[in-house]
A and B are shown apart, each in its own frame.
Chain A
Amino acid sequence: WVTFGGVNMSGGTRLENANPVIFQRSGERLLTATDEDEDVHDPIDDREIFDILSINDPEHPLSLEELNVVEQVRVKVSDAESTVGIEFTPTIPHCSMATLIGLSIKVKLLRSLPDRFKIDVHITPGTHASEEAVNKQLADKERVAAALENSSLLEVVNQCLSTRSI
């Protein structure tokens, strides 16, 4: 997996986008009466997936939501058909972290969703220079599995998925 391996993961490197635009965090999901009703079946919906994705950007101490990398409108889920589709938008068109962000999203969903789901993660069309290549890598099961065998890569992914400490 060349692209993943090519990412410079040592700490203290210069940030590519040191001054990103920050977006207001959306509030907590409001609890409704049906949420607490034992008998009602709550389908897995877009917002739920979106909340699962409140993960950190590898470059910034901010969540992907605050950087607008992941938006709720770009999350599409169908509980009945067991499919999830995510479009994510790298902060800048040449962001070298794009594959890593995509991988983190994919891993987070693999860990958080029932087996039955087919998970599709790709870049929002027209927002990244090497969109196609990245999408192809993310869609390839074998390559994702191989990437996660790489312990330094897994380390960065896990760091993104750790709950923030500040």
Chain B
Amino acid sequence: MAADSALLLSLVEEYVSGLQDSKAKDTAKGVKDGQFTVLQLVEALGLSLTSSQPHTRARGVQLLSEVLQECYGGLTEREVEVLIAFYENRLKDHYVITPPVLQGLRALTKCTVLPPGSAVSMLRSLFQDVHVQSLMLAERACVYHMLINLMETREAELKGLGADFVFGFVQSMDGERDPRNLLLAFQVAKNIIHRGYDLGKFTEELFEVTSCYFPINFTPPPNDPHSITREELVQMLRDVLAGTPQFAEFLLPLIIEKLDSDVLSAKLDSLQTLTACVSQYEHKDLAEFLEGLWVSLRREVFQTSSEKIESAGLAALTALTSCLSRSVLNSDSEDSLCTFLDLVLKDCRHHLCEPDLKLVWPSAKLLQAACSASSRASHIITSAVMPSLIEQYNSKTECSHRRTLLEVVQRFIQSVKTCQSSENEESVFLAFRPSLCSMVFSALTETNASLQITATSVLTSLAQQTGLLLDSDIELAVDHLTRLLLTEEDNRVSLAVVECVGALAELHPAAFIAKLIPRLKKEMFTEHMDQDNNREASEQQSLQAVRQRCMSALAAMSTQPGVVQESTPVLLEVLSSAHTGSVGFSVEEVVAACHSLQRIAEQVQDTEETGRCFHDVIIPRLLSLALQAALQGEGSSGCRSPLLEEVVLSAMVPVISTSCSRLQPTLAGQTALKAVSLFLDGDVSFLPDNSFPSHIGLLKKQQGDSWSQSQMVCLLMGCVCSLPRSVEVPQMDQLLSQLEEMSCTCSHPLSYTSAAKCFAGLVNKRAQGDSLDSLIQSTMKRVCSELDSASSSLRIQAFTHMIWVAKALLLRYHPLFTALTDKLFSLLDDADLGPMAADGFSLLMSDSPDVLNRGCHADVRIMYRQRFFSENSAKLVQGFNAAPQEKKPNYLKALSNIVNKLPKQVQVTELPALLSLLLEALSCPDRGVQLSTLSCLEPVLVDPPPALIQQLEALVGRLLPLTSSPSMNVRIASLRCIHAVSLFPVHEVLPFRARVLRALARPLDDKKRLVRIEAVQARAEWFLLGSPGGR
């Protein structure tokens, strides 16, 4: 004990007189470990605390405060009480002592055992004895922290202080300038407002002391270690100012004043603060400022200088209107919503009726912003505006005017959509239904394309208004849409019509099932009577176009299960008629039918009913038709079934894979079972139109070079590779071995590639373990031996198999992947396969659409591309340096294939290291390499690394010749890069100005417009460089 007290004394001595700051830590440790108590410390400090030298006293208090900062948790209530009394008393002492005293008090405010009444007494002394703004930055922060701490734990006590607390705080923060402290002070103010402290008569003072910072004008210094942003301050202050209706009478005039500012950010901040504050207000808070606010808002939208300001102004108007709509009215007060909307209508409505439609858009936007605020507002505004809009429309003859009016109407309908809350409320447009419908239908019969397009979107919006359109309106709409689908040649119109069909069919399926589908079917299957050669080519073209539109309409309308039941049989019939030849469909039409089925599978709701439709009807039917076609064989080319074509099969794959991946996993499992037994065992029992021979071996080697059956393996891939991982694939081992056999030995490209992809898709999902490892190893062995024998005729097959397996393993981070990478690298030097190997890197790095992607539930780890890049980029650079000259392009191509697929932010960080190689790649004659290198470079040029600036001569020298490349994409990309270079630091690029301007004169006369556009922009920037008023 005696030893301890001696130790304590020496610690105190060394800290106070010896000025050794580290002793505070040691003392605190002693207290924490129980070597001595805080009381003992105070006793030991005795002499220093009573010293006549203020600096010694300050040092003594500082030691105590530092210890308290570490040990406040262990104090008893009695100890705290004594310490507080001591500290409060010290506040009256010499000013050098104040900082450590505040530190100590701050530590004490964190105590959980703070005695009752002490918070109040602490604050009273603080407010009385300390002038906060004469303190240093850190001490001021200390005061704010004390307030924040006490507000957390002693709320009731502080509220007992009444308005004195607010007054004390106002005095403390008045004049604060440091952004860090402002954040803390705003926090206190926000707590005062949001937690219901009594502001008493100091409301205006609290507002003044905070609002003087509005709008925040702060730019953080560069490399700011505190990383306080302007946005943080803006948001904090907004929370304070907008937090209470008590501020309304002060804040609203301030906002009106600041909206007059020329500074865009001040305008924006004012508008956003207005939007925020009115959510707390009632109409009486706003009443006297409504006119002023309206005048400012109107000005901001009518004379807008930026879209940001415009949309902020409109949002504020919506918020304001919705505040007025919310308020409960007294019987004697006037309806402020009506009064306000009268103002809005008075200033805006007449612009909608001007004959030349000047200012029609800003007025309409303002009205719509108010309209969308509440259902009452929408009633008032629409009933005032719609009649004159409709009248205007009917009196105009010019199409462009009509279109503008129709677009305005469309926005009104949409603005009402956003505010309609309850289902059973009747639409505000009910009274205008007949005139709106006749307006839309008349527009649909116009010959002007953009008028028709606008009309379809108005129709969609009207249909989305609950309970507005009658069944007879819908039927009429369907008639119009049908007519347009069958006759309208303009692509943009038919696109809009198809979209409208989709939206309407979702809401009113019955009308589409009853009318549109039968009609479309009839049109699609009608062939012109004269089948002879004298049939006009143009007529045939228009028939094709009608069919295409019908098929996309069928796809668009199929979102409801009931519609799908009716639409898919039509599409399937296209396939079967094409196969049998009973109706002549071209290959493109058959492909379009498949695309429509795919789209339906993608968008339909996943219900048992639709699942059955796809798994029990559509997939068996597709397989059956494909098999029938395959068995007929290649035959004489004259009557060959279109279903043998590669494009058709490839279009069927996504129908099957989308169904298997997203519709009803259990049913998908059954589909997989059937498909596997069809391909392995020739089991055809589940196929419709079953008249197949008994011995079918789709995966077996076919006689001669027949490929019609082997290519069906792509359909198997669509099925088994897209199943959710919870669904087991039956007979896996046998399947894998037959797929490998086909992939390595078949001579038909579609067949062996599909087999390789199917194999890879299965390997990717197979469980980790020895059986997978040995499978990979045996595959590797087979592939390598094939690749190593230069005379083999199956090297391409072996390579294809390898690259797909490599992709499957790369995606899931399988450790055996590296063996495959090494093989792939070594092939870059191969005389025959080198270019193919370089392209292989692109396959590894990009998403493949039909297999091994997340949609197919493949095992894809995040950031596998970055990982591949970081593990292999060095190898590639080495290989490049070591390779003989004629092989170098393969390496450059491989590199640019990899880098091109990396996410932009990774490219930007990694590229400087590879710069010289990429510059080399720009002069590689392969256009693919040039293009992908340019697209890598472009994002890097936005923020050029120093390494790049050092190589400007090389960069510009290589970019300029590419502007006359034979490939337009290379020309475009190189011009974009040259444009980006103009934004480099002026002194670096100025020397190139004359040369670049001269070189860019030629692409100004390029034969492609897209190239010229880029050239014009790039040249304009280079002209501004170093020129007065430019850059």
Contact = CB atoms under 8 A, between A and B. Distances in A.
**Pairs A-B, 4 closest by C-beta atoms:** A155-B1029, A158-B1029, A114-B1005, A155-B1028
B225 interface: no
A108 B949 CA distance: 29
A42 B1007 contact: yes
24 contacts: A19-B302, A21-B359, A22-B359, A24-B404, A36-B968, A40-B1008, A41-B1007, A41-B1008, A44-B1009, A44-B1012, A48-B1012, A108-B1020, A111-B1016, A112-B1016, A114-B1001, A114-B1004, A155-B1028, A156-B1029, A158-B1029, A158-B1030, A161-B1023, A161-B1024, A166-B264, A166-B308
Interface of B: 264, 302-303, 305-306, 308, 358-359, 361-362, 404, 967-968, 1001, 1004-1005, 1007-1010, 1012-1013, 1016, 1019-1021, 1023-1024, 1027-1030
A16 to B, nearest CB: 15
A156 B1016 CA distance: 20
Contacts of B1024: 158, 161-162
B1010 A35 contact: yes
B968 to A, nearest CB: 5
A70 interface: no
A158 B1030 CA distance: 6
A154 B1026 CA distance: 12
Interface string A125-166: 000000000000000000000000001101111110111001
Contacts of A41: 1007-1008
Contacts of A48: 1009, 1012-1013
Contact of A159 (B404, B1007, B1023, B1029): B1029
A44 B1008 CA distance: 9
A116 B362 contact: no
A113 B1000 CA distance: 11
Interface string A99-127: 00000000010011111100000000000
A158 B1021 CA distance: 10
Contacts of B361: 22, 24
A52 interface: yes
A112 B1004 contact: yes
Contacts of A157: 1029
B1029 A154 contact: yes
A38 B967 contact: yes
Given A154-B1029, A163-B1021, A166-B264, 15 more contacts: A21-B359, A35-B1010, A38-B967, A42-B1008, A48-B1009, A61-B306, A111-B1016, A111-B1019, A111-B1020, A112-B1020, A114-B1004, A154-B1028, A155-B1028, A161-B1023, A166-B308
Contacts of A162: 1024, 1029-1030
Contacts of A151: 1028
Contact of B1009 (A35, A108, A155): A35
Given A24-B361, A158-B1028, A113 B303 contact: no
Given A61-B305, A155-B1028, A52 B1016 contact: yes
B309 to A, nearest CB: 9
Interface of A: 19, 21-22, 24, 35-36, 38, 40-42, 44, 48, 51-52, 61, 108, 111-116, 151-152, 154-159, 161-163, 166
Contacts of A52: 1016
Contacts of B404: 24
A161 B306 contact: no
A114 B1007 CA distance: 12
A166 B1009 contact: no
Nearest to A48: B1009
B965 to A, nearest CB: 11
Contacts of A36: 968, 1010
A112 B1014 CA distance: 10
A112 B362 contact: no
B1016 A35 contact: no
A27 to B, nearest CB: 10
Nearest to A31: B1010
Nearest to B1008: A42
A24 B1019 CA distance: 28
A20 to B, nearest CB: 9
B1005 to A, nearest CB: 4
A150 B895 CA distance: 50
A154 B1020 CA distance: 14
Contacts of B305: 61, 166
A40 B1023 CA distance: 30
A151 B662 CA distance: 66
A21 B358 contact: yes
A41 B1009 CA distance: 8
Nearest to A157: B1029
Contacts of B1019: 111-112
Nearest to B361: A24
A164 to B, nearest CB: 9
B436 to A, nearest CB: 23
Best-surrounded residue of A35, A48, A158 (most CB of chain B within 10 A): A158
A161 B358 contact: no
A4 B358 CA distance: 32
Contacts of A51: 1013
Contacts of A163: 1021
Contacts of A154: 1027-1029
Contacts of B968: 36, 38
Nearest to B1031: A162
Contacts of A112: 1004, 1016, 1019-1020
Contacts of B264: 166
A42 B1009 contact: yes
A119 to B, nearest CB: 13
A21 B1010 CA distance: 32
Given A48-B1012, A112-B1019, A166-B264, A158 B1007 contact: no
Contacts of B1028: 151-152, 154-155, 158
Contacts of A166: 264, 305-306, 308
A40 to B, nearest CB: 8
A151 B1023 CA distance: 14
A19 B362 CA distance: 13
A163 B968 CA distance: 25
Nearest to B264: A166
Contacts of B1010: 35-36
Nearest to A162: B1024
A111 B1009 CA distance: 16
Contacts of B306: 61, 166
Nearest to B404: A24
Nearest to A38: B968
B1004 A19 contact: no
A37 B306 CA distance: 37
Contacts of A38: 967-968, 1008
B741 to A, nearest CB: 42
Contacts of A161: 1020, 1023-1024
A42 B1013 CA distance: 12
B1008 A35 contact: yes
Best-surrounded residue of B362, B1004, B1010 (most CB of chain A within 10 A): B1004
